[in-house]
């Protein structure tokens, strides 16, 4: 037995000692390798899409500056050289962003994401410039080159700003009243069967009717065109909000109510803390749908009766055949409405932060 022990006991000691050295050093090499790899940050490559965009903007500037404008018959297009200089400045800025992306931080990252759009905008402006100011294929005054919009923004910015402010005030008031009324109505008909019996048929009949069709009747019942526009904008916003809120409240699972009742919840608690939070995604869908109706109603009301706002500015510009002013107002209107939708998205993300990852739109 002693001879067997003498042959067995030393063997594990030598075998155990042999592999322990590489096992102790192997993890050290595995940890050290990522550390050295992570320490060397990769140098950002050249932004090739930015260089292409810079070339497109530089070509736009050179074409605008070197190619003489075709006579418009009544006056020369103003701000042509300024427009060409602005395109050149954009081209220089894009070259700087493309060659030194680290120096611009978040601005450079956002510009990189918009690279294809920067190229497309430059190409679109070039085509617009060629077929209007250079060749005259699109005849004036119905079609104007891009530099004419620069002239409008420089010379008539005060009136445009005043009109945009009037539209914002009218739109905000109408949407606020319509959203509040639609939300309360939707919760009421989604919670109460009696309210649903009386209100739901009215919504089904009047909801599909365009709000602009009610303009003649509304002008009779309201004392001013301003109050008429507010009523119609609120009406166009309230219908989709009411329908979607009702759908959201009615679609809450009954198990939520049962669990809350077993814990002693009152009816008000069920409405305010169970039904409404569960229906909020549908409420925001209704708000987004109502914004489209509110925008169209706003423009029509301002064009037909309200003596202020971007819709009124469009009518004024068309009456004087000032088509560059009309196009400039359309661009301002598009930016304004897009900004309102963006703000609503931000508000939705804040209010529905507790549903992050569930809401996908």
In this structure, are residues 326 and 317 in contact, taking their beta carbons and an 8 Å threshold?
Answer: yes
At residue 356 the predicted structure's pLDDT band, cuts being 50, 70 and 90, is low
pLDDT band at 357 (very low <50, low <70, confident <90, very high): low
pLDDT tens per residue across span 260-283? 888 887 888 888 888 888 888 889
Distance in angstroms (rounded) separating the CA atoms of residues 328 and 146: 10
pLDDT at residue 34 in the model? 47
Q: What is the pLDDT of residues 162-178, one digit of tens each?
A: 999 999 999 999 999 99
Does the structure show a pLDDT above 60 at 234? yes
pLDDT averaged over the chain?
A: 82
pTM of the model as a whole: 0.76
Say yes or no to pLDDT of 10 above 70: no
Q: How many CB atoms lie within 10 A of CB 247?
A: 16
Residue 278 CB contacts under 8 Å (≥ 6 apart), including other chains: 248, 249, 252, 256
- How far is CA 265 from each of CA 12, 184, 192, 247, 255, rounded to the nearest angstrom? 70, 21, 18, 23, 13
pLDDT of 73 reads 65
**Interval 284-310: pLDDT, tens:** 999 998 888 889 888 888 887 778 889
The yes-or-no verdict on residue 334 having pLDDT over 90 is yes
Between 46-55, 100-109, 310-319, the lowest mean confidence (pLDDT) is in 100-109
pLDDT bin (cut points 50, 70, 90) of residue 15 is very low
pLDDT at residue 114 above 90? no
Pick from 134-148, 210-224, 313-327: least confident: 210-224
pLDDT value of position 360: 56
Angle between the 48-66 and 80-99 helix axes, to the nearest 10 degrees? 160
**pLDDT attached to residue 39:** 44
CB 239 within 8 A of CB 199: no
């Amino acid at each position: 037995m002693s001879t067997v022990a003498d042959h067995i006991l030393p063997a594990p000691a030598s075998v155990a000692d042999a592999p322990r050295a590489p096992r102790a050093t192997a993890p050290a090499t595995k940890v050290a390798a990522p550390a050295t790899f992570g320490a060397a940050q990769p140098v950002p490559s050249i932004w090739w899409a930015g260089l292409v965009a810079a070339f497109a903007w530089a070509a736009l500037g050179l074409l605008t500056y070197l190619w003489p404008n075709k006579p418009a018959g009544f006056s020369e297009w103003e701000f042509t050289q300024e427009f060409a200089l602005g395109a050149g400045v954009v081209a220089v800025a894009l070259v700087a962003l493309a060659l030194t992306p680290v120096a611009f931080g978040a601005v450079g990252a956002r510009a990189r994401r918009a690279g294809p759009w920067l190229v497309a905008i430059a190409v679109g402006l070039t085509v617009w410039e060629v077929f209007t100011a250079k060749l005259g294929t699109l005849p004036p005054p119905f079609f104007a080159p891009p530099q004419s919009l620069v002239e409008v923004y420089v010379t008539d910015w005060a009136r445009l700003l005043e009109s945009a402010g009037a539209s914002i005030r009218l739109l905000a008031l109408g949407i606020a009243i319509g959203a509040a009324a639609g939300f309360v109505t939707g919760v009421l008909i989604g919670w109460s069967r009696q309210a649903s019996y009386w209100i739901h048929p009215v919504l089904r009949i009047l909801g599909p009717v365009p709000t602009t069709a009610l303009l003649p009747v509304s002008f009779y019942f309201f004392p001013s065109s301003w109050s008429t526009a507010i009523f119609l904008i609120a009406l166009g916003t309230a219908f989709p909000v009411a329908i979607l809120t009702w759908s959201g409240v009615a679609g809450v699972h009954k198990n939520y109510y049962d669990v809350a009742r077993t814990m002693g919840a009152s009816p008000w608690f069920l409405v305010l803390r169970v039904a409404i939070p569960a229906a909020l995604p549908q409420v925001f869908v209704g708000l987004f749908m109502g914004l489209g109706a509110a925008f169209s109603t706003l423009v029509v009301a301002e064009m037909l009766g309200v003596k202020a706002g971007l819709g009124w500015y469009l009518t004024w510009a068309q009456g004087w055949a000032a088509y560059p002013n009309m196009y400039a107002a359309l661009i301002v209107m598009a930016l304004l409405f897009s900004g309102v939708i963006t703000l609503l998205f931000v508000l939705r993300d804040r209010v529905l932060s507790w549903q992050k990852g569930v809401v996908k739109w």
